[in-house]
Chain A
Amino acid sequence: MSYGDDSWALKNYSLELDTGVVGLLGPNGAGKSTLMRILATVSQPTEGSVLWNGDDISESPDSLRATLGYLPQDFGIYPNLSAIEFLEYLAALKGLPKQEAGQRINELLDLLGLAANKKQPLSSFSGGMRQRVGIAQALLNDPKILIVDEPTVGLDPSQRARFRDLISGLSEDRLVILSTHIVSDIEAIATRIVIMESGRLITDDSPEGVLQDVEGKVWSYVAPSSELGEISARTLVSSAIRRPDGVHLRVVASEMPDQSAEQVLPNLEDAYLFHTSNSSVSVG
């Protein structure tokens, strides 16, 4: 996917996906949303193709659309409609029979904690409530492929946990592609991790495989606060918490960064930083 002659949002990208939760990680501008838009038939690639069950979705998008649930990163609403009217409208667009649509909408509104507000105009909804309406519309047609772009924006921690449960349940017999820059959102549920940077595929592996890459490279130690700047410049700092005895560091490095450093078990955040760290920061 290119913008103009030289600017590529996605390049040299090849991926084959099956059922399960694919966690798409990458910094801002990595091309996650562009990939999502192409997969959701909103945009078309300038080169290459996307196949769904053997059909090129650029040529026959409806083969995918019939079974697609899509929650874009930024989406609007019709402010004069209530939540239930909005979902009824989208259910009609997706071709759900009226009676079945009604049952489905009620179930989704209950599940997402919107039942009590279902008759209020969407213009009165908070950001988190609108996001839940967005999640509901994506699930209306019982999609075989669910594409959700930054789905937990605006949700509070408990709602995020409930969304995670929902995605886990749904992914048993369908493909869920979940893009986020909040690593913890996918740590527990992703069956596959795809890391992107600058429009390119950096890593495509199981969570265990991604963690394995950084095994033995994550260290924890306490350093004087005054040295934090210098340490950050030469190593990859995964976290730094200031305490009275100094700054508690968690760093990713191939060699022991300090004599007091202890090796710790890596988490997905460490692995993500390891894979996306640019060449100016030494991991060695």
Chain B
Amino acid sequence: MNSSILYHIAKADFLERVRSRRFLVTLGLMIVVAYLFLPPLGASYITIDLDGYRGIYNSAWIGASVSLMIAIYMSFAFFFVVRGNLTRDYETGVGQIVAATQVKRRQLILGKWFSNVAVLFAMAAILVISAGALQFIRAEDTNLQIWQLVAPFLVIVLPTMTLVAAFAVLFEVIPALRGGLGNIVFFVVWIIVLFPLGQGGSFIIDGMQDGVSESVAGHSGSSSCCLIFESNAVDVLGRELGTQKTFTWGGMAWTNENILIHVATVVFALGIITLAGFRFDRFSRTGYSAGRITRLMRWISRNSGLDRLKQRATFAETDDTDVNSEPSLTHLTPLKTGSLGGRFGTLFTAELKLALKGLPIWWYAGAIGFIVFGALAGDDVGREWVLPFAWIWPVLVWSKMGVRESENHMEALVLTAPRPLSRQLPAIFLTGLLIAVILGSGVLARLVIAGDMSAVASWVATATFIPAAAIALGTWGQSARLFQMVYLSVWYAGPMQGVGLFDFIGLKPDIPVDTNRVLTVVGVTAVLIVIGIAGRARQIRY
């Protein structure tokens, strides 16, 4: 295999991405998250708790903590950062140029994987440097020990990144997984494979617990440890955590077993890349692929001779045109004077049709299922399970809001229509709201019947929050992926895992609705609406 070709495929792809705004924005956000993951002294929240203890912020603790955070949580975000390099080649036509060269499909796939790995390693490297800087910012222990800081990244983070990079390539070569559905599927893969793998770095947590028992007299080290995100020193289980005490952790004593697990991860990644190599069609398909029904209709049309008739009907009138003739005037029927400025309802209907167009039949079946089951299921099941799933079902529809125009290169046509801010944007918002209302209507009916008006208020706040968030992230992120990534993460952490900070639905069985939470959601929604309007205004100006 020609290594020079591999190098150039990976290099071009790497440069294309690290020079993008998305790379810089994501990196910036990750540095902020890393900063917050190591709470400042005196902060009102904690992230890692070892039965009331945490390590002082020395190189060992910071390196291990930030590595855990990346391996467990950021591996999901990293997928969104690196995916799309093959899709871009399909859509831009670059793929067809590459396909006409002598490059082998394995080279292309390996090159894309190397590029993904390089992007993620670059991010990880910057996070290591940031972690080092954090040690001085927190200033509990300013003795920088490079190996203690870097080792957890090498052993845990980098192997996990190779796996994420491989999944990103695999999902690109399977047409059905190239779009938003692939993001959802990866979310499931992340929960099943990567999340436990990151926690497989639990030997780091074991090492931390050993550190507590060795350093603190009388501490058994057997108490539970958790990664939590809670304020007011109350963890997700409602336990009062009090003020954390600190101990000095000397870092991991790495064993062969620790390292072998992550070597196996890299081998697994190579297996996925090999599979991707077999699946890759070497750009033989065009960017858009029609659905089965469309393909069937075209086949019937071709074989019935209908196409030939249509061709004659379409071009017969043009065949007689003399190319060199003087122009003859062609007139269109004028519109009635003052007929522009039509009804908002027409535009809203058009936006709704556009949002729902192309959704498969099973999507509608699922939506009906959520409505019916929400109305018929018990109150507890409705609040805890039906409503969260009903409001994740249209995530791909919502994620297109505010970004559909740019993803389809339609800005010049759509944003030059009259009043794009005061007319089209509200229509998009109401479309998203209507979808949330319909999907959650089954559960809403039960809440209304039960007369639980505070729960109804919480329901309304959330239904409004979702499209506002989608538009804000869409107009600024310029990619449906941003909302998919953020919303899925928050949904999983909040409504599903019960981390209070992220529970934007706030309806739990037998727990009264927290009015402050509802007001917070309303406030956040208002801010998101303003952000969305500003984002759209920015799109219109440029």
| Residues of chain A having any CB pair with chain B under 8 Å | 37, 40-44, 61-62, 65-68, 70, 72, 74-81, 85, 88-90, 92-98, 100-101, 103-104, 107-108, 111, 113-117, 121, 123-124, 134, 137, 139, 141-142, 156-162, 164-170, 172, 188-189
Contact of A75 among B324, B351, B410 (CB under 8 A): B410
CB contacts (< 8 Å) of B379 on chain A: these are none
A95 to B357 Cα, complex, angstroms: 21
Name which of B323, B414, B420 has the most chain A CB atoms within 10 A of its CB.
B323
A219 to B298 Cα, complex, angstroms: 55
A76 in contact with B347 given A94-B418, A168-B329 (CB within 8 Å): no
- A74: nearest residue on chain B (CB-CB)? B409
A152 to B357 Cα, complex, angstroms: 30
| Residues of chain B having any CB pair with chain A under 8 Å | 288, 290, 294, 298, 310, 313-315, 317-319, 321-336, 339-343, 346-347, 349-351, 353-354, 357-358, 404, 408-420, 423-424, 540-542
Contact of B330 among A76, A104, A114, A168 (CB under 8 A): A168
- B289: nearest residue on chain A (CB-CB)? A123
A248 to B332 Cα, complex, angstroms: 44
Q: Are A95 and B314 in contact (CB under 8 A)?
A: no
Q: Are B313 and A76 in contact (CB under 8 A)?
A: no
Contact of A93 among B323, B326, B404, B424 (CB under 8 A): B424
Known: A74-B409, A116-B314. 12 other contacts (CB 8 A): A44-B541, A62-B419, A67-B340, A75-B410, A77-B410, A85-B357, A95-B340, A101-B342, A160-B323, A162-B330, A168-B328, A169-B329
CB contacts (< 8 Å) of A157 on chain B: these are 323
Q: Are A65 and B328 in contact (CB under 8 A)?
A: no
A98 CB → nearest B CB, Å:
5
CB contacts (< 8 Å) of B334 on chain A: these are 142
Q: Are A92 and B330 in contact (CB under 8 A)?
A: no
Complex A-B: 21 CB contacts under 8 Å: A42-B416, A61-B540, A75-B409, A75-B412, A77-B408, A81-B354, A89-B350, A90-B413, A92-B351, A94-B418, A98-B346, A100-B335, A104-B335, A117-B314, A124-B294, A137-B413, A142-B334, A159-B318, A161-B322, A165-B327, A188-B327
A276 to B541 Cα, complex, angstroms: 32
CB contacts (< 8 Å) of B357 on chain A: these are 78, 80-81, 85
Q: Are B340 and A42 in contact (CB under 8 A)?
A: no
Name which of B317, B329, B540 has the most chain A CB atoms within 10 A of its CB.
B329
A58 CB → nearest B CB, Å:
9
Q: Are A65 and B418 in contact (CB under 8 A)?
A: yes
Q: Are B294 and A141 in contact (CB under 8 A)?
A: no
Q: Are A166 and B314 in contact (CB under 8 A)?
A: no
CB contacts (< 8 Å) of B321 on chain A: these are 158, 161-162
A92 in contact with B342 given A75-B409, A79-B288, A104-B335 (CB within 8 Å): yes
B1 CB → nearest A CB, Å:
36
A53 CB → nearest B CB, Å:
15
Q: Are B332 and A97 in contact (CB under 8 A)?
A: no
Query: Which 4 A-B residue pairings sit nearest by Cβ, starting from the closest?
Result: A76-B409, A80-B358, A92-B350, A93-B417
Q: Are B318 and A124 in contact (CB under 8 A)?
A: no
Name which of B290, B335, B351 has the most chain A CB atoms within 10 A of its CB.
B335
Contact of A89 among B294, B336, B353 (CB under 8 A): B353
- B542: nearest residue on chain A (CB-CB)? A43
- B424: nearest residue on chain A (CB-CB)? A93
Count of A-B contacts judged by CB separation below 8 Å: 170
A165 in contact with B328 given A70-B416, A158-B321 (CB within 8 Å): yes
The dominant DSSP class at the A interface is: helix
A191 CB → nearest B CB, Å:
12
Q: Are B335 and A89 in contact (CB under 8 A)?
A: no
- B343: nearest residue on chain A (CB-CB)? A97
Name which of A121, A134, A139, A141 has the most chain B CB atoms within 10 A of its CB.
A121
CB contacts (< 8 Å) of B414 on chain A: these are 90, 93
B220 CB → nearest A CB, Å:
60
A114 to B339 Cα, complex, angstroms: 25
Q: Are B341 and A170 in contact (CB under 8 A)?
A: no
CB contacts (< 8 Å) of A116 on chain B: these are 310, 313-314
A215 CB → nearest B CB, Å:
22
CB contacts (< 8 Å) of A74 on chain B: these are 409
CB contacts (< 8 Å) of B315 on chain A: these are 113
- A88: nearest residue on chain B (CB-CB)? B350
A117 to B45 Cα, complex, angstroms: 61
Q: Are A158 and B417 in contact (CB under 8 A)?
A: no
Contact of A90 among B330, B417, B542 (CB under 8 A): B417
A95 in contact with B416 given A85-B353, A124-B290, A161-B323 (CB within 8 Å): no
A104 to B335 Cα, complex, angstroms: 8
A169 in contact with B419 given A78-B410, A89-B350 (CB within 8 Å): no
B179 CB → nearest A CB, Å:
11
CB contacts (< 8 Å) of B404 on chain A: these are 78
CB contacts (< 8 Å) of A169 on chain B: these are 329-332
A65 CB → nearest B CB, Å:
4
A3 to B312 Cα, complex, angstroms: 48
A116 to B317 Cα, complex, angstroms: 13
- B359: nearest residue on chain A (CB-CB)? A80
Q: Are A93 and B350 in contact (CB under 8 A)?
A: yes
CB contacts (< 8 Å) of B424 on chain A: these are 93
CB contacts (< 8 Å) of A42 on chain B: these are 411-412, 415-416
Q: Are A41 and B416 in contact (CB under 8 A)?
A: yes
A159 to B322 Cα, complex, angstroms: 10
Q: Are B409 and A97 in contact (CB under 8 A)?
A: no
Contact of A98 among B342, B412, B413 (CB under 8 A): B342
CB contacts (< 8 Å) of A66 on chain B: these are 340-341, 418
A85 to B346 Cα, complex, angstroms: 13
Q: Are A114 and B413 in contact (CB under 8 A)?
A: no
- B309: nearest residue on chain A (CB-CB)? A116
Q: Are A92 and B340 in contact (CB under 8 A)?
A: no
Q: Are A96 and B413 in contact (CB under 8 A)?
A: no
CB contacts (< 8 Å) of B342 on chain A: these are 92, 95-98, 101
CB contacts (< 8 Å) of B347 on chain A: these are 92-93, 95
Name which of B332, B358, B413 has the most chain A CB atoms within 10 A of its CB.
B413
- A142: nearest residue on chain B (CB-CB)? B335
Q: Are A117 and B332 in contact (CB under 8 A)?
A: no
A179 to B413 Cα, complex, angstroms: 17
